Structure 1
Amino acid sequence: MTDHDETVTVRPSTLAWVRRHLEAGERIVGAEALHGGATAEMRRLAIGTRDGGTRYLVLRSFVDPTRQGPAEELLHREADALTALTGTGVPAPGFVAVDPTAAHCEYPSLLMTHLPGRAVLDDEGLETRLPLLARQLVAVHAVRPSVRPREYVALTTADTVVVPEGADAAVWAAAIDVIRRPAPRYEGRFLHRDFQPGNVLFDLPAEGPPGAAGARITGTVDWAAASWGPADLDVAHCSTNLALLHGPAWGLRFTEAYQEAGGVLAAAAAERLYWQVREPLALSEEVRWVARPWQEAGRTELTTRVVEERLDAYLTSLMGTPG
């Protein structure tokens, strides 16, 4: 998620709803668009405090239908996740209010606190950021909410995979056969379910590359898909995104970094492979949609074709990696 200096207008009913959730003496003094979100309209609201200061809130509104399901369900899940994360040590936005059915706002909306920092998608500095990402995901999986979120949802089936043009058909067929098997048994963990560089905010040194010593994570955002399932699934999702953003070797390296950070994956090689290939197979169905926010963030070289080629190379490497 990245800030953008673009003044916007918040719709009247939504504006009135936000005002009802401010502290006494506070007022909305500005609003700007936040770019980088793929599923909702995001606004950063500047709130003038009664002591003359300024604080910020984020308004998330589902203006259009989503690929992930009904907006009401997504907003309930995100609100529940933000509440569960309070006091855990995992930096996430603070929950303020939710209107999942648009009873008060023009569109289903969530109001939360604003976190400093920005998402970093550059190749430069990745070697330094990678262990930070791994440690953050280990911390997420250590959360034990008082009320479990829903069970994870598989994002693909063996019959809906889209094999990229020019890919090795035999490799893809073998990978598809892997997910035809019943899902392995697993020890459940609290999952973000879309943990990847676009949803992690960094505070970076004023000088040096975007990964130099001193870089730190300030928060993880977009918890609308939070669920309960195997840690392997979150690791596989982030690994696949890293492979597409930076090259297949980085996807494999993240799995190692997660384990080096103390994370525990499935013990059996066949079980690990089941979860590992699920995510690249799922992303095969929406490569264009996945690449678009990266292009908008400045990674214009990541065309749909380039991402497809990296996806094929990464899946091939998984299928050829022993144990």
Structure 2
Amino acid sequence: MTNHDEAAAVRPLTLDWVSRHLEVGERIIGTEVLYGGITAEMRRLTIGERDGGTRDLVLRTFVDVEHAEDWLHREAGALTLLPGSGVPAPGLVAVDPTAAHCEHPSLLMTHLPGRTVLDDDGLEARVPLLARQLVAIHAVRPVERPREYVAWTTADTVVIPQGADATAWAAAIDVLRRPVPLYEGRFLHRDFHPGNVLFDVPPTESAGPRVTGVVDWAATSWGPVDLDVAHCSTNLALLHGPAWGLRFAEAYEEAGGVPAAAASDRLYWRVQDGLAFSEAVRLVVRAWWEAGRTELTTRTVEERLDAYVTALMDALS
């Protein structure tokens, strides 16, 4: 077996576990690290088939991650639910949420075609595709609901960026102190953003891009669609500029999505997500650097977050 680099090596117990879930006559012939994630180690495994061909699987491993068992149970449940739903998600091969067989909690799944696209070029064409895909996710009706969403920040844990608009941030933090708006629950991805969506982008402009997959279902939850809209909006605002965060919310409605009717409720969910990023800017920047967006410094992202929060308060207050 060949590794593209030392980090790609699969640990011995995990290697044995993966091998037990291959078809007769198959073996692992190559491994490659997949970069861009924050919480889990990701590897693409090239599988040699009996007839001489190859196929790929993806191994997801949580090393010293709190709640790994819960996350893997939720991801396995989502991957079991989604076939036939019209949402292009990986197929579940095996899961070891308690590390009963592997060195660390792990999940093995099929590999999807396509790649993540985080560049500014072509964004105008991709945003409506992201919106339509999110509407399709919210249309899924599970027999068993996933657990209720968990808020990722509170008014007391927000970290105001240096030089931020103090008035806008104080007002935004006050929004989080309001009672949680009433909402009609829906199936949520809960971490839907461009880094978790795969695209096929033709080399010429004769055909547009298309979504080939949605990955990372570990945070699957039940809650308001506005949370998913808000999370993708914040990511777009930080990756490409605040205007794109506002644009995605419009695209979601244009695609048939139905957010909260009241502007104050929409503001609550979007502010909640935006302010949650204040506590994780460095982690997000590191993931984007690994994905090739090395011009996005911590300071750049903080400035965009400040501009986005201010824009939200101006647009929806």
Q: What TM-score comes out, normalization by structure 1 length?
A: 0.94
Q: Tell me the CA shift for residue 64 of structure 1.
A: 3.1
Distance 2:304 2:63 in 1: 32
Q: Tell me the CA shift for residue 282 of structure 1.
A: 0.6
| Match status 1:89 vs 2:83 | no
Distance 2:263 2:168 in 1: 18
Alignment equivalent of 1:221, drawn from 194, 215, 221: 215
Runs (4+) off by over 3 Å: 4-7
Which residue in 2 is equivalent to 1:292? Answer: 286
Alignment of 1:144-293 (within 5 A): 144-207=141-204, 213-293=207-287
Distance 2:316 2:291 in 1: 36
Structure 1, residues 113-172: CA drift from partner, whole Å, max 9, x if none?
A: 001111000001000000000000000000011110000000000000011111111111
Which residue in 2 is equivalent to 1:55? Answer: 55
- 1:284 partner letter: S
Distance 2:233 2:79 in 1: 24
Distance 1:125 1:226 in 2: 28
Structure 1, residues 153-198: CA drift from partner, whole Å, max 9, x if none?
A: 0000000001111111111111111111111111111111110011
Specify the SS of the correspondent of 2:163. coil
| Match status 1:80 vs 2:77 | yes
Specify the SS of the correspondent of 2:315. coil
Distance 1:213 1:244 in 2: 28
Structure 1, residues 35-59: CA drift from partner, whole Å, max 9, x if none?
A: 1121111111111222222111111
1:93/1:113 contact within 8 Å kept: yes
| Match status 1:305 vs 2:305 | no
2:190/2:219 contact within 8 Å kept: yes
Which residue in 1 is equivalent to 2:130? Answer: 133
Q: Tell me the CA shift for residue 322 of structure 1.
A: 4.1
| Match status 1:108 vs 2:102 | no
Q: Tell me the CA shift for residue 251 of structure 1.
A: 0.3
2:71/2:219 contact within 8 Å kept: yes
Distance 1:30 1:295 in 2: 25
Distance 2:184 2:209 in 1: 32
More moved, 148-157 vs 294-303: 294-303
Specify the SS of the correspondent of 1:35. coil
Structure 1, residues 253-310: CA drift from partner, whole Å, max 9, x if none?
A: 0000000000000001111111111111111111111111112222111111110000
1:40/1:64 contact within 8 Å kept: no
Which stretches in structure 2 are left out of the alignment for 5+ residues?
none
Alignment size in residue pairs: 314
Which residue in 2 is equivalent to 1:18? Answer: 18
Distance 2:306 2:128 in 1: 25
Distance 2:187 2:142 in 1: 8
Specify the SS of the correspondent of 2:212. strand
Which residue in 1 is equivalent to 2:43? Answer: 43
Q: Tell me the CA shift for residue 6 of structure 1.
A: 4.1
Specify the SS of the correspondent of 2:140. coil
Distance 1:257 1:30 in 2: 40
Distance 1:116 1:321 in 2: 38
1:118/1:202 contact within 8 Å kept: yes
- 2:297 partner letter: T
Specify the SS of the correspondent of 2:34. strand
- 2:201 partner letter: L
Distance 2:4 2:31 in 1: 10
Distance 2:37 2:159 in 1: 24
1:128/1:213 contact within 8 Å kept: no
Distance 2:234 2:50 in 1: 46
2:186/2:223 contact within 8 Å kept: yes
Specify the SS of the correspondent of 1:96. strand
Distance 1:124 1:27 in 2: 39
Specify the SS of the correspondent of 1:255. helix
Q: Tell me the CA shift for residue 213 of structure 1.
A: 3.5
Q: Tell me the CA shift for residue 27 of structure 1.
A: 1.7
- 1:195 partner letter: F
Distance 1:37 1:300 in 2: 15
- Give identity over the alignment, percent: 75
